[in-house]
Amino acid sequence: MTSTVFTPLTLPNGQELINRIAKAAMEENMGDAQLLPDAALTHLYRRWGQGGSGLIITGNVMVDRLAMTGPGGLALEAQTPLAPFIALAKAAKEQGAKIWMQINHPGRQVYAALGGKALSASAVAVDLGKHSHLFARPQAMTAAEIEDVISRFVTTAQRAEQAGFDGVEIHAAHGYLLSQFLSPLTNQRTDEWGGSLENRARLLLEITRRIRAAVKPEFAVAVKLNSADFQRGGFDIADAKAVVTLLNDLHVDAIEISGGSYEAPAMQGRTADGRTLAREAYFLEFAAQIAAVANMPVMSTGGITRLHTAEQVVNAGVALVGMASALAVCPDLPQRWQQNPAFELPLARIEWKDKAIASVATMALIKRHLRRWGNGAKKETVLNPLLSLILDRVRLKKLIKRYRKLIGA
């Protein structure tokens, strides 16, 4: 029987998804002052759960409150109260969706204004030209710091399971810490954590192995991986295929394929090495190549807004269709497609001359949509990108002040 996006999918560990549509992770920046989910964020996840997606993957949940991708984020550590996370998971699952927690460490991709930790494989700073000063200069991690990060990923996964989540997704893409270890541009180590691809992948593999051993078999363990850094000399598709081959033996339940980093935001359709991505389903070509060597289901995320495109993903042998921006604008898009397969959601790309600012504005626009739904909006709307950027900058200053007070910086 030919699969469609609405065909159920059984994962390697036996977990069943009601369809192939996954709400991919987005940075919400809607955590409360204690870096916990609040009522608005819980309501947002209830909307996604009611909207018809078979799988919901959270935005970043950080394994260390001193290493955040943003000041309004979430962190889940050994002593973090679980009740807010239990409420969020329950709300998302009310209509039969599964929910996985994306767990992450930013490494060097932390704003200088935040304070806290800025660690990486090597002391290579984020290069955004005139905007580089916005990011902290990282320190190369010691062996003790690497072991601490591994333990934190395992602890966060165990606590996610305790909170009622159905799985975790280990974030090893988009230039965050595990991606920094994978990329030869940011990993210049000469010890067992650097050099060969096997060494650069060691941190991801060790975290995956230890999480799988620490949670129940029916709890899903997935990995989000770059198809490429889209920077010259960086991690590329051949590396991605090799890493997936290494992951094949670790009982991973899904691989999500994306791409890029803050320096080359390919996840928004922009590259830094001259390569042109498809206007829709940016990484489908790469995901199909990964699916050919993967023992687990593969998910392709990036630029999918039409049912026709989503079906192309499944027809290419890619098991899961990941959507982020489209479900930020229209949380019930899967239901809309079932009622009207021709329904199209207009999503305008921000084509400003300053690519770094355009990237930030894109994220600001998405986060504004998410706050609308969390605050009880009833229907989708068109928002102004420039106004969204200004509002986001004002809000960010307040959140930074609140976060620095929390950590005593």
Q: What is the mean pLDDT of each run of 10 residues along the chain (409 residues)?
A: 86 98 96 97 98 98 96 97 98 97 97 94 90 91 98 98 98 95 95 97 98 98 88 84 97 91 58 49 84 96 89 94 95 96 82 82 93 95 93 96 94
Residue 288 lies in a domain: yes
Q: Say which amino acid occupies 153.
A: F
Residue 323 lies in a domain: yes
Residue 52 confidence (pLDDT) = 97
Tell me if 99 sits within 8 A of 166, measured CB to CB.
yes
Residue 273 confidence (pLDDT) = 43
Give the bridge partners for 221, in sequence order.
Answer: 168
172 contacts: CB under 8 Å, gap ≥ 6: 178, 179, 182, 204, 223, 224, 225, 226
CATH of the domain at 384: 3.20.20.70
Residue 394 lies in a domain: yes
Residue 89 lies in a domain: yes
Tell me if 228 sits within 8 A of 240, measured CB to CB.
yes
Distance, in Å, from the CA atom of 60 to the CA atom of 28, rounded to the nearest integer, reads 8
Residue 114 lies in a domain: yes
Distance, in Å, from the CA atom of 399 to the CA atom of 70, rounded to the nearest integer, reads 9
Give the bridge partners for 254, in sequence order.
Answer: 222
Domain range for residue 91? 9-407
Longest dimension (CA), the chain: 58
Query: In sequence order, what DSSP letters do the residues of 247-258 get, joined into one string?
Result: HTTTT--EEEEE
- Domains: count for the chain: 1
**How crowded is residue 375: how many other Cβ atoms within 10 Å of its Cβ?**
12
Residue 4 lies in a domain: no
Residue 3 lies in a domain: no
Tokens 């989540």 sit on residue = 165
Residue 58 lies in a domain: yes
